[in-house]
Amino acid sequence: MSDPLPFKGRSVSVTAVLLQDADTAQIDVALSEKIAQVPPDFFTTQPLVADFSALEGFKPDTKWLKTLKRIFERHKLGLVGVCGAPVERSALVAAGLAEVRTSVEAKKVEKSEEPAPPPPPPAPKLAPTRVIRHNIRSGQRVIAASSDLIIVGTVSPGAEIYADGNITVYGALRGRAFAGGQDNTAAYIYCHTLGAELVSIAGFYQDMEQLQASGVRDNVFISLNADESMRIVSV
């Protein structure tokens, strides 16, 4: 008789939240500021992991973990686990969290003899490209469902553009751009001038502060590396 409910190992994508302070009040404030930078419900369906790797020597206890989880729940965020620091199993169980290995930690574990995983699914088939030949003003939202999006003009601060495929802006990108819907990690974003509030590809994003730190401004090409980190170059 076949197993009606088999348990199998899988590699899944989660978003790590790198904690910079162990003060839960500061974490609460930082979460409020981060959520204000993205569209409503942007993180609602994403599993999140608290990363303690920046908190040297920190060992969270049960009470602290429960408080952290309540803070995330208050912001309607799904905290599912922790990584980057040793945590007592009893504390994790009591808080309803899991210990998650990062890719670096996973490499230290001896690989078991398993068949090679199947190749990734092909990128979703896209409809004809949607072309907009005017500026996108603050407060406007443009959506290209199942297609690429081309903007011939400027995307103003406060404007939002979405595409299941690629996004190309023949002008300045100063608002928010979301490419690669339907988990299309092969998508890219191109713009003549980068001054965006936020860019996202397949749910992996960088905000204005991170984009400015890249130092790239003109003729910008943004894509995902194999490890799903964001690549920002001038072309």
pLDDT of 46 above 80: no
Higher pLDDT, 150 or 6: 150
- pLDDT band with cut points at 50, 70 and 90 for residue 131: very high
Whether residue 155 contacts residue 149, with contact meaning beta carbons closer than 8 Å, is answered with no
pLDDT of 127 above 80: no
pLDDT of 55 above 60: yes
Looking at CATH, the fold of the domain delimited by 15-107 is given as Alpha-Beta Plaits (3.30.70)
* The pLDDT of residue 175: 94
How far, in Å, CA of 150 to CA of 148, rounded? Answer: 7
How far, in Å, CA of 220 to CA of 190, rounded? Answer: 6
Mean pLDDT over residues 94-112, rounded?
Answer: 62
DSSP state of 37: T
pLDDT of 11 above 70: no
For 184-223, the pLDDT digits (tens) are 899 999 999 999 999 999 888 898 889 999 899 999 999 9
How far, in Å, CA of 39 to CA of 96, rounded? Answer: 28
DSSP state of 121: P
Sorted by where each begins, the domain ranges of the chain are: 15-107, 129-234
How far, in Å, CA of 199 to CA of 223, rounded? Answer: 10
Tokens 């302070």 belong to which residue?
21
Tokens 């300045």 belong to which residue?
172
The residues, ordered by sequence, that sit 6+ positions from 90 with a Cβ below 8 Å of its Cβ are 62
Count of CA atoms in the C-beta half-sphere (13 A) of 200: 24
Tokens 């819907």 belong to which residue?
181
Looking at CATH, the fold of the domain delimited by 129-234 is given as Pectate Lyase C-like (2.160.20)
